[in-house]
Amino acid sequence: MSESQHWYSRAGKPAYEVPAARGGMRATTLADARKLGLCPSVTTVLSVIAKPQLEAWKVKQGILAALTLPRIDGEAEDAYLARIKHDGEQQVRDAADEGNRIHDAIECAFKGRAYPAAYRPHVEAAQRALAEAFPNVTDWIAEASFAHESGYGGKVDIHSPSTGIVVDWKGKDSDLSDGRKLAFDQNYQLAAYQVGLGLPRTVCANGFVSRTHPGKVRIHVWSAEEIEQGAAVFFSALALWKAVKQYDASFVREEAAA
């Protein structure tokens, strides 16, 4: 499965799609970004860094598909392998889709909008966990987007303008109680969001929400020092991304140029 790319205008507006030649819309490409001066998203930039934990999980889905998918009598090996590959990728897609639905429900809750009742356990657990981690923070803003003059953009799950805290939600397929490490390199992403929004350097967090056990949530808080280290990694990745893609979306803000 190819990793999707997201793009933002220099005004910080999402530009995920462009008009298709035959009508309708299609996903924005690097070629489109060059023409329109779009900024790559934080996750698009970070795609230049290997993600061994994610890749290991994808490989596991492929192995499970191979173990559970019976071969059809007379089926050619190439056809069987293609079916296994599709089945394994479908598991990844299904998990991503469910994660998106949970994410959308949490977003709606923070914006005061209605969401499917099936996701109430996920939402309420996420809200409780966040309140326990940051009991004095009440000014959470959901889904703020931005473009930074260094040439990248993004959309932030939630952040607190008064404190600078950024929180990003992640879906997991477990009850989160086995003590296994959940947070690996997400401080790169959080740091990029914090800088992109012009927030002061402080702690940030990931909220891990179980896709398989509704109501199970764990919050991991990154220290300010870990976020500082994450920023160093991100901007190194940004420089590498620009060199590899031969595209630099850096710009000077009008107010700064005046």
Backbone angles phi, psi at 249, to 5 degrees: -95, 15
Q: What pLDDT, on a 0 to 100 scale, did the predictor assign at position 117?
A: 97
Q: What pLDDT, on a 0 to 100 scale, did the predictor assign at position 96?
A: 85
Mean pLDDT for 17-30 is 95
Q: What DSSP state is assigned to residue 71?
A: P
More confident call, 61 vs 190 = 190
Q: What integer best gives the mean pLDDT of the chain?
A: 91
pLDDT at 118 over 90: yes
Backbone angles phi, psi at 111, to 5 degrees: -95, 0
225-237 pLDDT tens trace:
999 999 999 999 9
Q: What pLDDT, on a 0 to 100 scale, did the predictor assign at position 63?
A: 79
Cβ contact 123:112 at 8 Å: no
Question: Which contacts qualify for 43-46: CB closer than 8 Å, 24 or more apart?
Answer: 43/6, 43/154, 43/189, 44/5, 44/6, 44/7, 44/241, 45/152, 45/192, 45/234, 45/237, 45/238, 45/241, 46/188, 46/189, 46/192, 46/234, 46/237
46-58 pLDDT tens trace:
999 977 776 776 6
Tokens 């990154």, located at residue: 222
Which of 187, 189, 198 is closest to 148 using CA atoms? 198
Cβ contact 159:122 at 8 Å: no
Which of 145, 144, 102 is closest to 127 using CA atoms? 102
Q: What pLDDT, on a 0 to 100 scale, did the predictor assign at position 62?
A: 75
Mean pLDDT for 4-20 is 94
pLDDT at 199 over 50: yes
153-171 pLDDT tens trace:
999 999 999 999 999 999 9
> Which token pair is 61?
């889905």
Percent of the chain at pLDDT > 70 equals 95
68-109 pLDDT tens trace:
888 888 888 888 888 888 877 787 788 889 999 999 999 999
The DSSP element (H or E) to which 156 belongs, if any, is: strand 152-159
Q: Is the pTM of this model over 0.95?
A: no
136-148 pLDDT tens trace:
999 999 999 999 9
pLDDT at 257 over 60: no
